[in-house]
């Protein structure tokens, strides 16, 4: 009881008040419906670790969908239900709340007796991946804050261990091998020795081949979305996982350097006020895939469910990556105008440019960052409206003229608006070449 009071206290201290109030409302609503409700999984794990996590997963002993519908109505949030799975998602402002019905489909014996109260929750938690993810906190009024720890998850959190709940866990769901690595590296834990043995066994039995590429890629993306994926990628190498995920990838010190260079690169971008890619995983994916053999690349192209733009980026890196790196080097070493850099990088997706730059030294990276910022921020002084007052008939030619003015300005020519006006008129008269539709500088 003392521990539970401590837990309730911890909820009150650590949670932002809207979440705490939400939990109290959830508990009251469940009481009114005669249901038991718990917050489970990553939220509880991170609460105990003192890490921010506002992904709320609720498990209801009772009709989860009916409960979710009531909660959504009460919160005036939106509701989406998946009847088949007994689950629902509530959106309440920016907050997402997953609601699941405690699952009972796995019984230990075919003729097991009807289970007592908490056993529905126990069954639900037993199906989960690791002890540290199988913790729950009760939200019902009278027992608000009671920690439910059937599998000694708390102890494993203290020991820093990632441990499966049963021996065949990885065989049943091999994505858990990648999940184990992700949690191990994120929290600087260790995969518990017996669990590691089970993982190695499942890998040796090639269980990962049973997975769909979709699920494999989803898990790989989660790893690549971690703040610093390098240690997890190294661990994957050590466990021999690349042969299933990116066949032919050889983890060299050079790849390691490139991967490790990405977080500081992203930081430099943010500090320079430049846009940081929302999906940083793509940068890592490019960094890795660039080192694939042509067969490896074909494998990825044939099997991975990737968006077309990403595929194009991959082939571009393979076909033109080295030449483009060389061109960037030349630009850095020589005294070249900004419009030259713009021309080198113009058709490259942002993430692929970052993957290219991952191999550069820090001073070079900073110079490129500064140059790129200038390229991004430079606009011509004239606008379309002013072109109109010059008597130039509106049309697609405007974009070409404005782009050409931008490039001239980038290189420090056309020192004021008057010079731009004169230049625009010369362009239209044909005294100066306008350039290609894409805004080509070389004409
Ligand atoms: P993250 O902080 O990365 O979001 P999370 O633990 O919240 O971690 P989710 O992928 O959102 O991870 O999963 C939520 C919960 O669902 C987990 O805590 C775990 O209990 C369970 N879970 C997810 N994937 C699996 C799986 N493959 N096998 C068993 N349980 C899983």
**Index of the ligand 1 atom closest to the CA of residue 46:** 2
Pick from 377, 405, 433: which residue ends a domain? 377
Strand pairing of 36-40 and 136-138? Answer: antiparallel
Residue nearest to atom 1 of ligand 1 (CA): 42
* Whether residue 190 sits in one domain with residue 97: no
Q: Supply the CATH number for residue 224's domain.
A: 1.10.110.30
Q: Given this model, what pLDDT does residue 431 score?
A: 67
Asked whether residue 247 is assigned to any structural domain, the reply reads no
What's the CA gap between 366 and 332, in Å, rounded? 11
Strand pairing of 161-162 and 190-191? Answer: parallel
User: Alpha helices, DSSP H only, in 358-396?
Assistant: 362-377, 384-389
What's the CA gap between 150 and 189, in Å, rounded? 21
Asked whether residue 250 is assigned to any structural domain, the reply reads no
**Residue 430: exposed, middle, or buried by beta-carbon count in 10 A (0-12, 13-18, 19+)?**
exposed
175 lines ligand 1 (CB under 6 A): yes
* Whether residue 25 sits in one domain with residue 122: yes
Q: From the first residue on, what is the mean pLDDT of each consecutive set of 10 residues in the chain (443 residues)?
A: 73 88 95 94 94 92 93 96 92 93 60 50 93 96 91 96 96 96 98 98 94 92 95 96 92 91 89 86 94 91 92 93 93 90 89 89 86 87 90 88 91 89 88 52 33
| Angle of CA points 412, 418, 423, to nearest 5° | 70
Question: Contact 262/280 with Cβ under 8 angstroms?
Answer: yes
* Whether residue 282 sits in one domain with residue 344: yes
The total domain count for the chain is 4
* Whether residue 193 sits in one domain with residue 94: no
* Whether residue 153 sits in one domain with residue 44: yes
* Whether residue 154 sits in one domain with residue 8: yes
Token code pair at residue 341:
């850099």
Question: Contact 191/184 with Cβ under 8 angstroms?
Answer: yes
55 lines ligand 1 (CB under 6 A): yes
What's the CA gap between 29 and 15, in Å, rounded? 20
The residue range of the domain holding 282 is: 255-377
Token code pair at residue 177:
């091998």
Q: Residue 277's CB: how many other CB atoms inside 10 A? A: 15
Asked whether residue 248 is assigned to any structural domain, the reply reads no
Q: How far is the CA of 166 from the centre of ligand 1 (A)?
A: 16
Q: How far is the CA of 2 from the centre of ligand 1 (A)?
A: 29
Task: Say whether 99 sits in a helix, a strand or coil.
Answer: strand
Which of 38, 40, 41, 225 has the most ligand 1 atoms within 8 A of CB, as the residue to mutate? 41
Q: Given this model, what pLDDT does residue 437 score?
A: 39
What's the CA gap between 351 and 314, in Å, rounded? 10
169 lines ligand 1 (CB under 6 A): no
Eight-class DSSP state of 98: E
Asked whether residue 106 is assigned to any structural domain, the reply reads yes
* Whether residue 343 sits in one domain with residue 413: no
214 lines ligand 1 (CB under 6 A): no
Nearest of 165, 143, 145 to residue 153 by alpha carbon = 165
* Whether residue 100 sits in one domain with residue 127: yes
Q: Supply the CATH number for residue 101's domain.
A: 3.30.460.10
Pick from 206, 240, 274: which residue ends a domain? 240
Which of 52, 128, 137 has the most ligand 1 atoms within 8 A of CB, as the residue to mutate? 128
103 lines ligand 1 (CB under 6 A): no
Q: How far is the CA of 219 from the centre of ligand 1 (A)?
A: 11
Residue nearest to atom 21 of ligand 1 (CA): 128
Q: Supply the CATH number for residue 359's domain.
A: 1.20.58.1960
Asked whether residue 92 is assigned to any structural domain, the reply reads yes
Pick from 240, 272, 302: which residue ends a domain? 240
218 lines ligand 1 (CB under 6 A): no
Nearest of 87, 112, 113, 115 to residue 100 by alpha carbon = 87
Asked whether residue 249 is assigned to any structural domain, the reply reads no
What's the CA gap between 334 and 54, in Å, rounded? 49
Asked whether residue 74 is assigned to any structural domain, the reply reads yes
What's the CA gap between 306 and 409, in Å, rounded? 38
* Whether residue 394 sits in one domain with residue 365: no
Eight-class DSSP state of 208: G
* Whether residue 139 sits in one domain with residue 30: yes
User: Alpha helices, DSSP H only, in 205-307?
Assistant: 213-224, 230-238, 242-245, 253-271, 281-289, 294-303
* Whether residue 13 sits in one domain with residue 123: yes
Asked whether residue 42 is assigned to any structural domain, the reply reads yes
Which residues are bridge partners to 56 per DSSP? Answer: 97
Token code pair at residue 436:
């290609």
Query: With a cut of 0.90, is the ipTM above it?
Result: yes
Q: What are phi and psi of 92, to 5 degrees?
A: -135, 100
What's the CA gap between 296 and 197, in Å, rounded? 29
* Whether residue 182 sits in one domain with residue 209: yes
């Amino acid at each position: 009881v003392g521990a539970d009071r401590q837990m309730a206290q911890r909820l009150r201290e650590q949670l932002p008040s809207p979440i705490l109030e939400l939990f109290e409302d959830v508990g009251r609503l469940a009481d009114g419906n005669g249901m038991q409700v718990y917050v489970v999984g990553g939220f509880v794990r991170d609460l105990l670790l003192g890490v921010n996590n506002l992904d709320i997963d609720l498990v209801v002993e009772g009709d989860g969908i009916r409960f979710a519908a009531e909660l959504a109505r009460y919160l005036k949030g939106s509701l989406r239900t998946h009847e088949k799975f007994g689950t629902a998602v509530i959106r309440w402002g920016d907050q997402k709340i997953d609601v699941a019905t405690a699952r009972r489909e796995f019984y230990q014996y075919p003729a097991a007796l009807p289970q007592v109260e908490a056993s529905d929750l126990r069954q639900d938690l037993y199906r989960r991946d690791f002890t540290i993810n199988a913790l729950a906190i009760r939200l019902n009024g009278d027992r608000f804050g009671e920690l439910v720890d059937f599998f000694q998850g708390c102890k494993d959190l203290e020991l820093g261990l990632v441990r499966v709940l049963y021996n065949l866990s990885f065989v049943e769901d091999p994505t858990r091998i990648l999940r184990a690595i992700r949690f191990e590296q994120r929290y600087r834990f260790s995969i518990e020795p017996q669990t590691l043995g089970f993982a190695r066994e499942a890998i040796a039995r090639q269980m990962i081949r049973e997975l769909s590429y979709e699920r494999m890629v989803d898990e790989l993306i989660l790893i690549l979305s971690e703040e610093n994926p390098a240690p997890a990628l190294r661990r994957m190498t050590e466990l021999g996982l690349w042969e299933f995920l990116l066949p032919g990838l050889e983890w060299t010190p050079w790849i390691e350097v490139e991967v490790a260079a990405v977080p500081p690169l992203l930081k430099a971008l943010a500090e320079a006020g430049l846009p940081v890619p929302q999906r940083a995983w793509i940068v890592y994916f490019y960094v890795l895939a660039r080192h694939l053999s042509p067969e490896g690349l074909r494998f990825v192209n044939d099997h991975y469910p990737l968006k077309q733009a990403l595929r194009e980026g991959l082939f571009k890196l393979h076909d033109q990556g080295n030449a483009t790196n060389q061109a960037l080097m030349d630009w850095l070493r020589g005294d070249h105008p900004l419009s030259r850099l713009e021309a080198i990088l113009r058709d490259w997706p942002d993430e692929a440019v970052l993957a290219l730059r991952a191999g550069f030294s820090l001073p070079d990276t900073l110079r490129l960052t500064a140059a790129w910022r200038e390229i991004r921020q430079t606009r011509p002084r004239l606008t379309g409206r002013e072109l109109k007052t010059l008597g130039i008939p509106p049309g697609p030619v405007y974009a070409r003229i404005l782009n050409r003015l931008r490039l001239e300005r980038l290189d420090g020519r056309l020192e004021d608006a008057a010079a731009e006006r004169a230049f625009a008129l010369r362009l239209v008269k044909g005294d100066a070449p306008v350039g290609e539709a894409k805004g080509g500088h070389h004409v």
